[in-house]
């Protein structure tokens, strides 16, 4: 078997492109979704994050449930809403359950992709229960899948350097497995381009592979490039590197190798590899389609976490912009659901004037594809 970790870059990328073509043809998928970040209050203090605010500091706010519902209502045509927030000690478990229930009531056609393993860990602590019980409660409330964020690098030595207060790698695995066993699928992620070594990335891949072989619950793998502009870790690493431009180039080069590695090492168990236009920019995301990616990600509409660290590529794209970018690279765009199912071609709640109060045939059609 080839040692992809040692393979020359051009050969690796060529093999990844061939393998992606074999698995997915010229089809590149994307999802029409939006983010809803409901709290900037966070006690974790990750060195790579510019989003979270310590309780009592300027900008440390959490939204009321009706405020979140109103924001989501600005984009009633999306098929998915991704709910994530900081770790706010004052938000009780009931807030999370009530938020999910309110969104399900207002927008029953939307798939709720909600709460990271870190948030679920905090919920377990507040409620005094274990992950399987908590996942059962969240599923009953209406959570349909969870984002596999908070993974960063699943090596505790690295985690202690960049996010010492975050849940350990084993706890992340425990929560993700509990979700999968409860019938709640998740994405899988990695945060790269900071202090990690290639050996750490290998170990991270091995953890994901073991979980997927056991549960089959990962829908996709999403590599996330470190955004260094407005956070403590970025300031340290740019100084070490000799300037921000040097650090940016290191991150770009790591991305060029990590994406095809992910395709060749993990593609057999996690066939969907998602790029990140919000991290790489649209041009970089298009380029990564030739490195093994088969999914363009989502429209997002309200991307705040990357932007708060100085992200330069905006907070949302329209479906037409994504499709134009994909076609321009010689691929065929295809809208998908969160779980990589099909969405009826030509059905657009936006064009049909679908509103949160809609309970007619259009809503029923949309729900069938959720």
Residue 361 lies in a domain: no
pLDDT for the residue numbered 241 = 96
pLDDT at 358 over 50: no
Question: Strand order of the sheet with strand 332-335?
Answer: 295-298, 27-31, 332-335
pLDDT of residue 149: 96
Residue 318 in marked binding region: no
SS3 state at 114: strand
| Domain range for 82 | 9-344
pLDDT at 370: 42
Q: Residue 345: pLDDT band by 50, 70, 90 thresholds?
A: low
The per-residue pLDDT for 361 is: 32
Residue 42 assigned as binding residue = yes
Please return the burial class of 122, using the count of CB atoms within 10 Å of its CB with bins 0-12, 13-18 and 19+: buried
**pLDDT at residue 326 in the model:** 98
Chain segment 285-308, per-residue pLDDT in tens: 999 999 999 999 999 997 555 555
Q: Is 49 annotated as a binding residue?
A: yes
**133 assigned to a ligand binding site:** no
360 has pLDDT over 60: no
**115 is known to lie in a ligand binding site:** no
Query: Would you list the DSSP string of 273-292?
Result: BB--HHHHHHHHHHHHGGGT
Is there a domain that residue 349 lies in? no
| For range 25-29, the mean pLDDT | 98
Whether residue 351 lies inside any domain: the answer is: no
pLDDT of 320 strictly over 90: yes
- Please tell me the predicted confidence (pLDDT) of residue 312: 56
Q: Which of 11-20, 166-175, 221-230, 309-318 has the lowest mean pLDDT?
A: 309-318
Q: What is the pLDDT of residues 206-252, one digit of tens each?
A: 999 999 999 999 999 999 999 999 899 999 999 999 999 999 999 99
73-82 residues labelled b (16+ CB within 10 A) or e (exposed): eebbbbbbbb
Q: pLDDT by residue (tens digit) across 71-129?
A: 999 999 999 999 999 999 999 999 999 999 999 999 999 999 999 999 999 999 999 99
**Is 70 exceeded by the pLDDT of residue 335?**
yes
Distance CA(282)–CA(276), nearest Å, equals: 8
User: Considering its fold, how many domains does the chain have in total?
Assistant: 1
Q: Is residue 162 part of a domain?
A: yes
CATH of the domain at 89: 3.20.20.70
Task: Tell me whether residue 46 is annotated as binding.
Answer: yes
Q: Is residue 256 part of a domain?
A: yes
Question: pLDDT-based confidence at 27, cuts 50/70/90?
Answer: very high
Higher pLDDT, 107 or 369: 107
Q: Cα-Cα-Cα-Cα dihedral of 6, 3, 223, 96, to 10°?
A: -140
Q: Is residue 217 domain-resident?
A: yes
- Note the pLDDT of residue 1: 44
Predicted structure pTM score? 0.92
Q: Is residue 350 part of a domain?
A: no
> Residues, the chain, total?
370
Residue whose structure tokens are 């009531």: 105
> Does 359 map to a domain?
no
What does the pLDDT average to over 139-167? 98
Q: Which two tokens stand for residue 325?
A: 């970018």
Mean pLDDT over all residues of the chain? 91
What's the mean pLDDT in 55-62? Answer: 81
């Amino acid at each position: 078997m080839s040692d992809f970790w040692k393979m020359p870059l051009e050969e690796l990328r060529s093999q990844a492109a061939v393998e992606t073509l074999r698995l997915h043809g010229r089809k590149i998928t994307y999802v029409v979704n939006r983010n809803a970040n409901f709290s900037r209050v966070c006690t974790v203090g990750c060195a790579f994050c510019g989003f979270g605010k310590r309780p009592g500091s300027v900008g440390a706010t959490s939204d009321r449930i009706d405020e979140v519902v109103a924001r989501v209502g600005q984009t009633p045509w999306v098929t998915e809403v991704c709910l994530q927030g900081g770790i706010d000690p004052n938000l009780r478990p009931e807030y999370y359950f009530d938020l999910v229930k309110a969104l399900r009531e207002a927008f029953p056609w939307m798939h709720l992709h909600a709460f990271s393993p870190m948030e679920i860990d905090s919920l377990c602590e507040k409620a005094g229960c274990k992950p399987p019980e908590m996942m059962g409660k969240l599923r009953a409330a209406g959570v349909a899948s969870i984002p596999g964020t908070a993974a960063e690098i699943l090596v505790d030595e690295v985690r202690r350097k960049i996010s010492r207060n975050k849940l350990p790698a084993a706890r992340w695995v425990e929560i993700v497995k509990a979700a999968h066993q409860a019938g709640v699928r998740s994405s899988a992620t990695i945060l790269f381009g900071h202090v990690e070594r290639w050996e750490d990335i290998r170990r991270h891949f091995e953890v994901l592979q073991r979980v997927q072989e056991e549960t089959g619950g990962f829908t996709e793998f999403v590599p996330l490039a470190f955004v260094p502009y407005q956070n403590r870790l970025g300031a340290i690493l740019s100084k070490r590197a000799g300037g921000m431009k040097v650090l940016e180039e290191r991150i770009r080069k790591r991305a060029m190798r990590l994406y095809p590695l992910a395709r060749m090492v993990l593609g057999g168990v996690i066939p969907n590899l998602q790029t990140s236009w919000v991290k790489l920019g649209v041009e970089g995301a298009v380029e990564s389609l030739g490195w093994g990616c088969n999914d363009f990600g989502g429209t997002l509409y309200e991307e705040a976490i990357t932007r708060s660290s100085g992200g330069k590529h905006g907070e949302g794209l329209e479906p037409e912009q994504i499709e134009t970018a994909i076609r321009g690279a010689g691929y065929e765009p295809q809208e998908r659901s969160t779980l990589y199912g099909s969405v009826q071609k030509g059905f657009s709640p936006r064009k049909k004037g679908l509103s949160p109060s809609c309970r007619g045939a259009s809503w029923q059609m949309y729900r069938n594809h959720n």
